[in-house]
Amino acid sequence: MSRLAAALALLLLVVPLLAGATAAGLLGGGIGGQTPRPSPSATADIPAGYQQLYLAAAATCPGLPWTVLAAVGKVETDHGQNPDWTSDAGAVGPMQFLAGTFTAYAVDGDADGTTDINNPADAIYSAAHYLCASGARDGADIPGALYAYNHDTSYVTRVLTQADMYTTLDPASAGPSGSGPSTAALTAVDYATAQLGLPYLWGGDGPDYGENGFDCSGLTRAAYAAAGITIPRVAQDQFDAGLRLPPGAPLEIGDLVFYGPSDIDITHVGIYIGGGNMINAPRRKTLVRTETYVRPSYRGATRPAPA
C-alpha cells in the first residue's frame, strides 16, 4: 500500500472520532471567536477527512483560523495528495516537518499512543501546535508564525492568500452576481501566488516558457492559461478584450486590474486577490509580489471568462 493510500485509509478511521468532538471545539480557531465558513473553493479542494482535521486541530489554538492551517497543508503537499512527501531540505510528511521540529512540537492527533510525522492527524495537530507557539495564539502574529514555519516571505503571502480563498466571501464584497469568484479565477490566483518571489523580467512569460521571471502581463496571461482561459499577451490588449466592470463595481478575486494615463494607454496590469490587494510583477529590479491595487493611475478592471 502506498503512503497516500495508507494515509487516506487512516483518515477514514480518524473522521468518526472527530465527529464526536464538541460543537464548541469545532467552532474554535477563528479570530474573535468566529470560524471562517468553508468557501466553495475549500469544499471542492480539500479532502473531507483533511478538512475535519484542520477544523479540529485549529480549535486547539485560539486565534488560529482553520483556513490558515488548511492553506499550509495546501501549499506544502496539496493536502497530502502530492506523493513526494520529502522536500529537498529533508522536510517530511503532509505538513512538511523537519524531523527535529516535529519532535519538538509533536502531538498525538489521533490518540493512538504514537506520533508519526507521516500520519495526517499527527502532522496537522503538530502544525497547529507549532504555529500556536510561534505567534498564532489569539491571532497575535499569524504572518510571523508562518514565517517561523517557512522562512520565506513569498511563502507567507501565498499561504495567507490561499487562506482567504478558503473563506466564504462576505456577500457585500462579492461581485455583481453575488456568487463570488469562478473556479477559473481561483485557479488563476493560485497560479499567481505560486510565482511570488520570481524576478520581474521584461517580456517574461515564466517557467512554462523556460524563463525565470515575468513582466506584468506575462504573469496575468500565464495565470489564466493555467485556468484554461486564453487572454492576449500585452496589458492594453487584455484591457480591451476583457469583460469590463462598471465603474465602482465590487472586485472579485481573479479580476484583472489595469493602470495607465488613459484607457488607450494602459501600462500595467495585476490580478486582484481580495482584501484590497493584487499580485503583480511591478517593474525592473523587483520581484513578483503583493501590493494594494489602489493607486492614482487605476483605469478599471476586467473579468476574464471562457470564450
Domain harbouring 265, CATH code: 3.90.1720.10
For residue 75, is pLDDT > 60?
Answer: yes
Check residue 42 and give its pLDDT: 87
* Pair (159, 188) in one structural domain: no
* Pair (152, 193) in one structural domain: no
For residue 175, is pLDDT > 60?
Answer: no
* Pair (136, 65) in one structural domain: yes
Residue 307 lies in a domain: no
User: Quick one: average pLDDT of 20-31?
Assistant: 31
pLDDT band at residue 5 using 50, 70 and 90 as cut-offs: very low
- Which three cell numbers mark 152? 520565506
* Pair (240, 111) in one structural domain: no
pLDDT band at residue 28 using 50, 70 and 90 as cut-offs: very low
User: Quick one: average pLDDT of 47-56?
Assistant: 95
Give 252 or 281, the one with higher predicted confidence. Answer: 281
Give 34 or 200, the one with higher predicted confidence. Answer: 200
User: Quick one: average pLDDT of 78-82?
Assistant: 91
CATH number at 40 reads 1.10.530
Check residue 108 and give its pLDDT: 97
Check residue 286 and give its pLDDT: 96
Task: Look at the chain and count its residues.
Answer: 307
Give 85 or 263, the one with higher predicted confidence. Answer: 263
Find all residues with CB under 8 Å of 49, minimum gap 6, and list them.
8, 11, 12, 14, 15, 120
**How far apart, in whole angstroms, are the C-alpha atoms of residue 141 and residue 153?**
14
Domain boundary among 115, 142, 165: 165
* Pair (17, 157) in one structural domain: yes
Residue 67 lies in a domain: yes
Dump pLDDT digits (tens) for 182-198.
Answer: 888 888 988 998 899 99
Check residue 259 and give its pLDDT: 98
Check residue 26 and give its pLDDT: 27
* Pair (12, 142) in one structural domain: yes
Check residue 172 and give its pLDDT: 37
* Pair (9, 147) in one structural domain: yes
For residue 13, is pLDDT > 80?
Answer: no
pLDDT band at residue 101 using 50, 70 and 90 as cut-offs: very high
Q: Three-state SS for 140?
A: coil
Check residue 19 and give its pLDDT: 31
Helices (H) then strands (E): counts for the chain: 12, 5
Residue 210 lies in a domain: yes
Domain boundary among 131, 147, 165: 165
* Pair (134, 155) in one structural domain: yes
Strand order in the sheet with 268-274: 289-292, 277-280, 268-274, 256-259, 298-302
Find all residues with CB under 8 Å of 113, minimum gap 6, and list them.
none
Residue 279 lies in a domain: yes
Number of independent structural domains in the chain: 2
pLDDT band at residue 36 using 50, 70 and 90 as cut-offs: low
- Cβ atoms within 10 Å, residue 189: 28
* Pair (186, 264) in one structural domain: yes
Find all residues with CB under 8 Å of 64, minimum gap 6, and list them.
29, 58, 128, 131, 132, 136, 137, 139, 142
pLDDT band at residue 44 using 50, 70 and 90 as cut-offs: confident
* Pair (180, 159) in one structural domain: no
Residue span of the structural domain in which 35 resides:
3-165
Q: Are 271 and 290 in contact (CB under 8 A)?
A: no
* Pair (140, 69) in one structural domain: yes
* Pair (50, 158) in one structural domain: yes
Check residue 38 and give its pLDDT: 78
Average pLDDT of the chain is 84
- Angle (nearest 5°) at CA 19 between 16 and 20: 100
By mean pLDDT, which of 29-33, 245-249, 261-265 is the weakest? 29-33
Check residue 269 and give its pLDDT: 98
Alpha helices in 201-307 (DSSP H): 216-226, 235-241
pLDDT band at residue 76 using 50, 70 and 90 as cut-offs: very high
Residue 160 lies in a domain: yes
Check residue 29 and give its pLDDT: 37
Check residue 169 and give its pLDDT: 52
Give 211 or 153, the one with higher predicted confidence. Answer: 211
Check residue 83 and give its pLDDT: 66
Domain boundary among 114, 133, 165: 165
Dump pLDDT digits (tens) for 107-134.
Answer: 999 999 999 999 999 999 999 999 999 9
For residue 100, is pLDDT > 90?
Answer: yes
